[in-house]
Amino acid sequence: MHFAMMEAKNNVVMISGPAPGIGKSFVSVNFAAVMAKSGQKVLLVDADMRKGYLQQHFNLPWMNGLSDMLSGKQPIADVIKKTDIDSLDVITRGQVPPNPSELLMHARFSEFVDWATNEYDLVLIDTPPVLAVTDPSIVGALAGTTLMVGRFGKNTAKEIEVARHRFNMAGVEVKGFILNAVEKKASSSYGYGYYNYSYESDK
């Protein structure tokens, strides 16, 4: 990570994955906590405005979050939430919008990223699965470093390659891959599944 970010255009790290249910948000939360405890000022952003649940890890409300800021309902200062971890702030998903991708393409998002890079040592953005929606490709265009998470025994090599290709087609270079929940066994199964990513969300 250190060397990847040395060559990056900014201090924004996007964490995505090919499919739901791989522990991507778990990795994001723990990565943010480790970096904050090492002395860096960290902002963790839940950019999964459809089904994001980062707030549950910190016992925070989901309302007044990213979608509310991007839609112009809340200023940046009002959507930043403190956590029990020193130097770690969180922006939750906010109200589930009808048009998450359009909100991410709005100038407010790029302006927010510029602001965050100046205010924090590290900005971590957790996004939805890249094989389900276009949101990660939009976020990745603004992030200096993109990491992909996969789950051992669940994501196949073919699926991971398709996800990487999806990023490449959008001009986003994946700098690293995090294999989550590794078990001591070998898997030789290959394939590619399609995932339904519901717009419904628990509020």
Structural contact between residues 25 and 178, judged by C-beta atoms closer than 8 angstroms:
no
Q: Is 90 helix (H, G, I), strand (E, B) or coil?
A: strand
CA dihedral 12, 72, 79, 77 (to 10 degrees): 80
| CA atoms of 45 and 76, how far apart (whole Å) | 12
**pTM of this structure:** 0.80
Q: For residue range 153-166, what is the model confidence (pLDDT) as tens digits?
A: 665 677 777 777 77
Burial class (CB in 10 A: 0-12, 13-18, 19+), 13: buried
Burial class (CB in 10 A: 0-12, 13-18, 19+), 52: buried
Mean pLDDT on 84-96: 95
Structural contact between residues 145 and 4, judged by C-beta atoms closer than 8 angstroms:
yes
195 pLDDT more than 60: no
169 pLDDT more than 80: no
Q: Which residues pair with 146 in a beta bridge?
A: 14, 174
Residues in the chain: 203
